[in-house]
Structure 1
Amino acid sequence: MSLPGGYWTAMDVYFFDCDKTLYDYDFHRRLPKLAELSGVSQYRLASGWWAGGHERAAEIGEYPTTDDYLAAFADVTGAHLTLEQWQEARRSAMTPIPGSIDALHEAAGLGTVSLLSNNPIPFKDSLPVLCPEIVGVLGGNDLVSAVLGARKPERRIYTRALGRFGVRPEDAILFDDSLANVEGARDAGMHAHRLVKRDDGTFDTEAMREAMHAFASRER
């Protein structure tokens, strides 16, 4: 369905990464907060859970519920966290990127918007707390790798995400900070744009919106 100016709606899907794309993310703020809340050292948390590959496993769905995730986290690290504490630590590492948030809101007027993020189930379950700026716009389109059973840049995460919306690869675009993820999307036949963080710490969201407009007004 076309709109004046060549823009299209129903057929197009705009996928947005979350960390370092919609929200700046700093693990070095999250880890101390986790240590503070749990009473377990940063070293034990990082070496046991992250270096041990458990977060990566969680991101492909090995811990299928939030309770499973938190129980495994306690078994591995000795840190018995409530979901609210996990959320507090996660949120402490996240800072909204205004230009990206604005782009997501604009994209919602051009087609369908969705997250496409490498994250575990507690992240998906916590979106209203972690991402209040975008959760209403997403309308439940909160795809995370734990649900799709694969992580970017694996090809199957893109094909499974496209399948959720019944959309052709050429009618979808991914915005992501990772070059590997962007290249993975392109290899799957999608459009993609890499969000760049400048040396001064700001994000080139102007280029993101230019890419969004170019995609929306492309020839069919």
Structure 2
Amino acid sequence: MDVYFFDCDKTLYDYDFHKRLPLLAELSGVSQYRLASTWWAGGFERAAEIGEYATSDEYLRAFAEVTGAKLTIEQWQRARKAAMTPILGSIAALHEAAGLGTVSLLSNNPIPFKDSLPVLTPEIIDVLQGNDLVSAVLGARKPERRIYTRALGRFGVDASDAILFDDSAANVEGARAAGMHAHQLTQNEDGSFDTEGLVGAMHAFAERDRSARPSTS
């Protein structure tokens, strides 16, 4: 069985934090500066991404304690979704990959993100069929080796039978170091994403010689 792992932010969906932060400030009545300088600069989001908060309620309580901003999950979702734009070529590739093997997210994100996927990612939620791995569940962030080995363990596959598509060079190198195939999604000169390159890498993986070493494309 082949497994096709897709990152979310800037791989399946373009992501702009500068659209999210102003809306969070508007919804909560707490300044952008306070939100950014306490929660994000203070390392709390990073901690959430490795499982510091086991539930969305715990995350939102901690967010309120640290920033003074009391948000409902619906408000959190609204601000997160405002920062996300589908990358149509990548989403089409994920749907195609589902016909070639098993597809899964592999994303550095906190529990509220996982809980909110039906709202945030309606274009892919059905094809994922519950394969929505996030770092908060796996207890490690890309590019740490253990997130890859834990993700592979969820599907019971060898590293050589899995590929990661990700915009981060560090994450791609981390996957390769763990024995996986990997492809970095880059942007063209006009700012568009090179989804044709991603599709090409996907087909090369699907058609590979299984006795060959993992791809370095």
Describe the SS at the equivalent of 1:192: strand
Describe the SS at the equivalent of 1:218: coil
Q: Which residue of 1 aligns with 2:48?
A: 58
Partner of residue 85 from structure 2, selected from 87, 95, 100: 95
Q: Which residue of 1 aligns with 2:72?
A: 82
Q: Which residue of 2 aligns with 1:29?
A: 19
RMSD after superposition: 0.4
Gaps of 5+ in 2: 211-217
- The answer to whether structure 1 residue 140 and structure 2 residue 107 are counterparts is no
- The answer to whether structure 1 residue 192 and structure 2 residue 178 are counterparts is no
Tell me the distance in 2 between the aligned counterparts of 1:118 and 1:33: 22
* 1:95 CA drift (Å): 0.0
* 1:185 CA drift (Å): 0.1
Q: Which residue of 2 aligns with 1:108?
A: 98
Tell me the distance in 2 between the aligned counterparts of 1:188 and 1:96: 29
Tell me the distance in 1 between the aligned counterparts of 2:123 and 2:200: 22
TM-score for the superposition, normalised by structure 1: 0.95
Structure 1 residue ranges (4+ consecutive) displaced by more than 4 angstroms after TM superposition = none
* 1:201 CA drift (Å): 1.5
Q: Aligned partner of 1:204: which letter?
A: D
Q: Aligned partner of 1:165: which letter?
A: F
Partner of residue 127 from structure 1, selected from 106, 109, 117: 117
Gaps of 5+ in 1: 1-10
Tell me the distance in 2 between the aligned counterparts of 1:138 and 1:197: 25
What count of residue pairs does the alignment treat as equivalent?
210
Tell me the distance in 1 between the aligned counterparts of 2:191 and 2:31: 29
* 1:199 CA drift (Å): 2.9
Partner of residue 49 from structure 1, selected from 39, 42, 56: 39
- The answer to whether structure 1 residue 68 and structure 2 residue 68 are counterparts is no
Q: Aligned partner of 2:200: which letter?
A: E
Q: Which residue of 1 aligns with 2:214?
A: none
* 1:192 CA drift (Å): 0.1
Identical counterparts, % of pairs: 82
